[in-house]
Amino acid sequence: MGELYNKMARDLALKNFAEATQKQYLRCSSHFVRYHMTSPAELGEAAIKQYLEHLLLKGAGPETLKLNVAALKFLYGVTLGRPKVVERIPWPKVPHKKPDILSGTEVETVLGAVRSLIPAVALSAAYGAGLRISEVCRLRVEDIDSKRGVIHVRQGKGKRDRFVMLSARLLELLRAYWVKVRPVGGWLFPGRKAGEHLHPSAVRKALDEAVRTLGLKKRVTPHVLRHSFATHLLEAGNDIRMIQAALGHASIKTTARYAQVSARHVARAKSPLDLLGTKAGAVLG
């Protein structure tokens, strides 16, 4: 893409997109150009639909297709200044699947099975404070505010700062971790190279190994721990607004989808059939 690539990179940076999103959009757009071997400035709606159909034939799922649509809408709508080219490109419908939720016992078992100390404590922090794995890896020592009982999350998703809970148990774990590791360089969870923080891939690898060792049938990822955190807060009777703040969601709608009513809540509910003919059923008229 040459100069166009650089221009798109600048546009993405100016829009303050997350670094990972910038890389994905640039990669998708580059593949689009490579497929047609023609400058996007010379291509239109038909070429975009042809490429998306090509992805479908290759077996691309709805999430991959949606990512490519988003990238091309940005390329044409922002970088090329030709929004009409992509205005009729539909957004693929992505099915909303409910991820597996771990029980409290399962969370404790999984965290206890992680062998490497730094990833183990990082995962405990992820669950204990509901953090994204990228947020955990970028924590600095000074972000742990033991006096106020909070963790300062800097530049989370959407480039927003927030404060999240620092549980007494997590604080105790972090203090023991500090004595053993004495992290240097400012990062709470240092990486292998001097001056770098722990990489999310190292945490995912350690978690995968623990899950394999346990033989769990559920799919367990750092994001599942975050989802379990939200669900467990809900089950403990916490207000949805508090959960929204803890997760760092800008919209309550995101939290409502994320921390969906758990199976335990569903099981507690009484069917109106059970109330028919009873004193409690009088409210039904």
CA 97/CA 25 separation, integer angstroms:
24
Q: Known catalytic residue: 258?
A: yes
Q: Known catalytic residue: 192?
A: no
**Candidates 36, 66, 157, 204; catalytic one:** 157
Is residue 99 within 8 A of residue 209, CB to CB? The reply is no
**Candidates 162, 226, 227, 232; catalytic one:** 226
Angle between helix axes 117-129 and 200-214 (nearest 10 degrees) is 90
Q: Known catalytic residue: 223?
A: yes
**Candidates 73, 132, 162, 227; catalytic one:** 132
Nearest by Cα to 100 from 215, 208, 254, 220:
220
CA 38/CA 32 separation, integer angstroms:
9
Look at the block and give the residue holding tokens 């758990």.
Answer: 262
Q: Known catalytic residue: 34?
A: no
- 54-92 per-residue burial string, b: 16 or more CB within 10 A, e: under 16: ebeeeebeeebbebbbbbbbbbbebbbeeeebbeebeeb
CA 123/CA 207 separation, integer angstroms:
8
CA dihedral 49, 54, 55, 60 (to 10 degrees): 120
Q: Known catalytic residue: 226?
A: yes
Nearest by Cα to 225 from 91, 97, 141, 110:
110
**Candidates 197, 227, 232, 249; catalytic one:** 249
Is residue 160 within 8 A of residue 247, CB to CB? The reply is no
Please give the C-alpha separations between residue 224 and each of 28, 218, 282, in angstroms, as whole numbers: 27, 10, 42
CA 276/CA 285 separation, integer angstroms:
10
Q: Known catalytic residue: 36?
A: no
Look at the block and give the residue holding tokens 């991820």.
Answer: 99
Which sequence positions are flagged as catalytic? 132, 157, 223, 226, 249, 258
